[in-house]
Amino acid sequence: MTDLDGAALLDIARQTLLADIVPALSGDARFKALMVANAMAIAARQAQYGAVAEPADAAALAAAIRAGLRDGDKDLAQTLLELARARCRISSKTAEKAG
Amino acid sequence: MDDARRAGLAAWLPDSFSIVGMALMSGGAIQQNWQLDVVADGTPHAWVLRTDQPATLSHSRPRAHEFALLQEAFAAGVAVPEPLMLCTDLCVIGTPFFIMRRLDGIAAAHRIVRSESLGGGRLALVAELGRALARIHTIRPASAALAFLSPHPNMPAGMRFVTEMRAHLDVAGVAQPILEWGLRHLERHAPASAEIVLCHNDFRTGNYMVDQTGLTGVLDWEFAGWGDKHEDLGWLCARCWRFGSPHEAGGVGPRAALYAAYEDASGQRVDDDAVRFWEIAATIRWAVIALSQARRHMSGTEPSLELALTGHIVPELERDIMLATS
């Protein structure tokens, strides 16, 4: 059993939840089951892509941005956009497609 | 509501009213809304009783303030649930409450943005939203009934916003370079001072009710405060409140129709640049709120799947901020 990794296991568990369990639910229970499915999808993508590489010293960077020391820094803007996109790949399937 | 509270309410209502039905409505972690049906002289009345959750240490706006906001909005001609009675005497049902007329219609954002006909159709609904905002913005700081609202500081509204958001981030204590980038952009591009008006501050699809013919009422007044009219227009138009719809004004209809109806009703020009500024601000504000909700889960004080998932909204907001500012 080495070829079934965590992401794949979460994926089939989620498919089962959506196909066999959610249709039998209604109201609040259905809403909560859909939230569980969403959480499983995020966890599966996290397992698949690994942790997002965060900026080395986020506190110093945040302070420098606030102080105006990085105004107009196009490289930094690109880095931050890539960081947001990397986080989106894990958090949101629709965001990954859209941007 | 137990028998004692219900009896207290029945005794407090004017003699001609008798309670024929009461049921707790869904939603509301801090407030409770009760569907309240009464009959007076053979005429049925459909009401909502709004009160605090028992044993909740409420940090939100007191019911009396919310009632005053509804009264002012109603008097200004805004479609709201008509406020009828306020009771701050804790001996009646144990918590302060007020009673408002119950509205017909639906508020579910995902249904509204997908429908071509709800609210009288997209163009009609967007125009009604513009007119409702114009009426809200006729309420000015001189209003004695709203003296409980914090006065607007003597600075442009955009700078007030940046100052407030930085304070929130500092209290949270977690460095957020992308939100800082967005706030610095706003600081450098803040519009000049505009007239200060009453802003609803949560005027978006999901917080108003519609029926087949139009807008039936604007709900959720607890964040209202003094600000720039463009704050409300930007909050409504921000991408994060379009619910996946391509329509820029609240996910409902075209931005131009919103502006036109607002300008027509108010006689004042909408500054598109200022609205765009407040759309970025809206995205940052929602990210700050979402982060604080996620922290309530992560800190272990309030484990909740819903709060945890709210934290995963933030990356999409951060991407929107970077796309709008770089």
In this prediction the ipTM stands at 0.89
Cβ separation B183–A66 shorter than 8 A: yes
**Domain at B96, CATH number:** 3.30.200.20
pLDDT for the residue numbered B29? 61
**Which residues in chain A are contacts of B306 at CB distance < 8 A?**
35
- Pick from B76, B101, B126: which residue ends a domain? B101
Cβ separation B326–A74 shorter than 8 A: yes
**Which residues in chain B are contacts of A45 at CB distance < 8 A?**
none
- Pick from B80, B101, B122: which residue ends a domain? B101
User: Based on the domain organization, do B173 and B238 belong to the same domain?
Assistant: yes
**Domain at B179, CATH number:** 3.90.1200.10
User: Based on the domain organization, do B81 and B161 belong to the same domain?
Assistant: no
pLDDT for the residue numbered A94? 65
**SS3 of residue B100 by DSSP:** strand
CB B178 within 8 A of CB B322: yes
**Which residues in chain B are contacts of A71 at CB distance < 8 A?**
184, 188
> B36 lies in which domain range?
3-101
* Tally of CB atoms within 10 A around B93: 22
User: Based on the domain organization, do B53 and B133 belong to the same domain?
Assistant: no
Helices marked H in chain B: 3-12, 63-75, 90-93, 109-114, 122-136, 157-172, 177-189, 229-237, 255-266, 272-298, 305-311, 314-325
Checking if the pLDDT of A14 tops 60, the result is yes
pLDDT tens sequence across B22-78: 999 876 666 889 999 999 999 999 999 999 876 554 455 789 999 999 999 999 999
Task: Identify the residue among A31, A45, A81, A93 best suited for mutation to test binding to B, counting B beta carbons within 10 A and taking the highest.
Answer: A81
* CA B227 to the chain's CA centroid: 14
**Rounded Cα gap, residues A74 and B323, in angstroms:** 12
pLDDT for the residue numbered B28? 62
pLDDT for the residue numbered A2? 52
Weakly modelled stretches of chain B, pLDDT under 50: 57-58
Average the pLDDT over A77-92 and give the result. 95
User: Based on the domain organization, do B117 and B79 belong to the same domain?
Assistant: no
pLDDT tens sequence across B245-280: 999 999 999 999 999 999 999 999 999 999 999 999
> What residues in chain B have their Cβ under 8 A from chain A's Cβ atoms?
166, 175-178, 180-181, 183-184, 188, 244, 305-306, 308-309, 312-316, 318-319, 321-323, 325-326
Closest Cβ opposite residue B175 in set A62, A92, A99: A62
Distance to chain B for A87, nearest Cα, Å: 6
How many interface pairs between A and B have CB atoms less than 8 angstroms apart? 88
User: Based on the domain organization, do B257 and B207 belong to the same domain?
Assistant: yes
pLDDT for the residue numbered A99? 45
User: Based on the domain organization, do B306 and B278 belong to the same domain?
Assistant: yes
Task: Identify the residue among B293, B313, B322, B325 best suited for mutation to test binding to A, counting A beta carbons within 10 A and taking the highest.
Answer: B322
User: Based on the domain organization, do B268 and B174 belong to the same domain?
Assistant: yes
| DSSP class per residue in B114-179 | H-SSGGGSHHHHHHHHHHHHHHHTT--TT-GGGTTSPPPPSS-HHHHHHHHHHHHHHHHT---HHH
* Tally of CB atoms within 10 A around B324: 16
Distance to chain A for B48, nearest Cα, Å: 22
CB B134 within 8 A of CB B73: no
Cβ separation A39–B305 shorter than 8 A: yes
Burial B36-55, CB ≥16 within 10 A → b, else e: bebeeeeeeeebbbbbbeee
Q: Could you tell me the pLDDT band of residue A28, with boundaries at 50, 70 and 90?
A: confident
- Pick from B49, B71, B101: which residue ends a domain? B101
User: Based on the domain organization, do B272 and B195 belong to the same domain?
Assistant: yes
pLDDT for the residue numbered B26? 74
The residue ranking higher by pLDDT, B192 or A62, is A62
The residues with which B32 forms a beta bridge, in sequence order, are: B51
Closest Cβ opposite residue A61 in set B177, B306, B318: B177
Count: domains in chain B: 2
User: Based on the domain organization, do B188 and B256 belong to the same domain?
Assistant: yes
Average predicted confidence (pLDDT) for chain B? 94
